[in-house]
Amino acid sequence: MNGPSHERLDALREGVEEQEHELHVALEELEGVARRAFDVRRWIRARPQLWIGGAFLVGAWIGVRTRANREV
């Protein structure tokens, strides 16, 4: 290989490596955002009374349905 061709190839490799690194950084940032957005524990900690009430209502609804099915 001649000089200019070799230099151009090296520059292309460096560019690809930089873009690959930027892609990895962007994916890590996206992963962090996705984790924070879907962190159910954080939602529960923010409003525990709401979740307790919801759990009670769901449990009561299931209990009523189960009891109605047993009586049939």
pLDDT single digits (tens) 10-55: 999 999 999 999 999 999 999 999 888 888 888 899 999 999 999 9
Q: Which residue has the higher pLDDT, 39 or 56?
A: 56
Residue spans per domain, the chain: 1-38, 40-72
> 49, 71, 67: which is closest to 59 by C-alpha?
67
The model carries a pTM of 0.51
1 pLDDT more than 80: no
CB burial of residue 26 (10 Å; 0-12, 13-18, 19+): exposed
pLDDT for the residue 72: 61
**pLDDT given at position 29:** 95
Reported residue count of the chain is: 72
- Residue 25: is it exposed, middle or buried by C-beta count within 10 angstroms (0-12/13-18/19+)? exposed
Classified as helix, coil or strand, 47 is coil
